[in-house]
């Protein structure tokens, strides 16, 4: 009996330290952030409880709505372009073609780079005077290329383009994993029945890839909502908040303007928005596990 008791208790003993660390470094700060969102803390003095004042100020803040709108643009961009491009690449590279491994590695390579490194590299490429892109435009006869990161209409889309360039390879790998799990006999059966390539894709591949697509879309939404590194490195939310997103807005208010309470309020709103999609993702994962 004692041996059975030890065998059932020992695994939980190994979990004690990680759980304590998780409570201290993740759960504790999360609840403390909720508390700070109801204070006027500046990061130095003692926090004073002010109720819902930060939330009232936030929902009347023009920059908050600009940042939220920009986050929505990230979301729409991330669930369309990388998903479609990643799926297309996965279908092409799922078959035996010359240089298949090279192309897979090449498309996935940007994912290995840190977002800060990507931001620095593309910041140089976007430089209006000596950048690679504008130099290529000059060779094509366009004497004066745009200021990619200084133009209010282009800055956000220039950053999103970098994020998409990095994301496509990741989506491709997820879809490749999904394609490998599909029984080839189903594809062969559709061709025997007279289906062409488009019909096979639309009526066979796409429905079978539905679980992967749900996970891909949810992950893309979560990634787009927590966008920060590229914006911080490339524009810091400028010009005139044109490329600001919620995470960057939160950072500036908390650490540049010393409004920790207000920054915590932005963090709480961002967390609540992300929580909806995290629950969808976890629910889908649990459903998949139950099916198997």
209 and 88 in contact (C-beta within 8 Å)?
no
What pLDDT is attached to residue 7? 61
Does any domain span residue 236? yes
Q: Which residues pair with 39 in a beta bridge?
A: 49
Q: Is the dihedral of CA 160, 164, 170, 176 positive or negative?
A: positive
Q: What are phi and psi of 41, to 5 degrees?
A: -60, 135
Does the N-terminal peptide bond of residue 239 adopt cis geometry, omega within 30 degrees of 0?
yes
Does any domain span residue 152? yes
Report the C-alpha gap between 212 and 175 in whole angstroms. 7
C-alpha pair distances (Å), 35 with each of 47, 64, 247, 260, 264: 10, 20, 19, 11, 8
Question: What are the tokens at 155?
Answer: 């800055």
Cα R_g (the chain), whole angstroms: 24
Residue 68: give its domain's CATH number.
Answer: 1.10.3720.10
What pLDDT is attached to residue 143? 77
C-alpha pair distances (Å), 142 with each of 135, 146, 154: 9, 10, 17
Does any domain span residue 33? no
Does any domain span residue 26? no
At 94 the three-state DSSP class reads coil
Residue span of the structural domain in which 147 resides: 61-291
What pLDDT is attached to residue 203? 86
What pLDDT is attached to residue 2? 58
Report the C-alpha gap between 248 and 238 in whole angstroms. 10
The domain total for the chain is 1
Taking CA 216 as the corner, what is the angle to CA 211 and CA 217, rounded to the nearest 5 degrees? 100
What pLDDT is attached to residue 218? 86
Does any domain span residue 25? no
Does any domain span residue 31? no
Taking only the tens of pLDDT, the chain with its 292 residues reads 456 555 667 777 788 888 999 999 989 999 999 999 999 999 888 999 999 999 999 999 999 999 999 999 999 999 999 999 999 999 999 887 888 889 999 999 999 999 999 999 999 999 988 889 999 999 988 878 889 999 999 999 999 999 999 999 999 999 999 998 888 888 888 888 888 888 888 888 888 898 889 889 888 988 898 899 999 999 999 999 999 999 999 999 999 999 999 999 999 999 999 888 888 777 877 776 666 5
Is the pTM of the predicted complex or chain greater than 0.85?
yes
175 and 216 in contact (C-beta within 8 Å)?
yes
Query: In sequence order, what are the residues at sequence separation of 6 or more whose Cβ sits closer than 8 angstroms to the Cβ of residue 73?
Result: 156, 160
What pLDDT is attached to residue 270? 93
Does any domain span residue 269? yes
Taking CA 33 as the corner, what is the angle to CA 31 and CA 38, rounded to the nearest 5 degrees? 105
What pLDDT is attached to residue 287? 75
Closest of 291, 269, 152 to residue 214, by C-alpha: 291
Q: What are phi and psi of 79, to 5 degrees?
A: -95, 5
What pLDDT is attached to residue 94? 87
Does any domain span residue 193? yes
């Amino acid at each position: 009996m004692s041996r059975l008791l030890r065998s059932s208790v020992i695994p939980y003993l190994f979990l004690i330290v990680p759980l304590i660390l998780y409570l201290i470094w993740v759960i504790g700060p999360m609840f403390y952030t909720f508390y700070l969102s109801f204070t006027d803390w500046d990061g130095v003095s003692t926090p004073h409880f002010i109720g819902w004042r930060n939330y009232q100020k936030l929902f009347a803040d023009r920059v908050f709505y600009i940042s939220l709108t920009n986050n929505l643009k990230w979301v729409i961009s991330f669930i369309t372009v990388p998903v479609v491009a990643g799926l297309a690449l996965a279908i092409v590279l799922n078959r035996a073609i010359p240089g298949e491994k090279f192309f897979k590695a090449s498309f996935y390579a940007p994912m290995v780079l840190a977002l800060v490194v990507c931001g620095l590299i593309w910041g140089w490429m976007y430089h209006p005077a000596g950048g690679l892109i504008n130099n290529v435009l000059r060779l094509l006869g366009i004497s004066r290329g745009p200021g990619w990161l200084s133009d209010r209409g282009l800055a956000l889309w220039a950053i999103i383009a970098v994020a998409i360039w990095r994301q496509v390879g990741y989506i491709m790998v997820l879809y490749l994993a999904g394609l490998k799990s599909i029984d080839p006999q189903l594809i062969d059966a559709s061709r025997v029945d007279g289906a062409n390539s488009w019909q096979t894709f639309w009526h066979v591949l796409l429905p079978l890839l539905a679980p992967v697509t749900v996970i891909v879309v949810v992950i893309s939404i979560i990634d787009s909502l927590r966008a920060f590194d590229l914006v911080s490195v490339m524009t810091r939310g400028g010009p005139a908040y044109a490329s600001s997103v919620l995470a960057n807005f939160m950072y500036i208010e908390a650490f540049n303007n010393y409004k920790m309470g207000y920054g915590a309020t932005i963090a709480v709103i961002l967390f609540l928005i992300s929580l909806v999609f995290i629950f969808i993702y976890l629910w889908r994962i649990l459903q998949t596990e139950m099916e198997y």
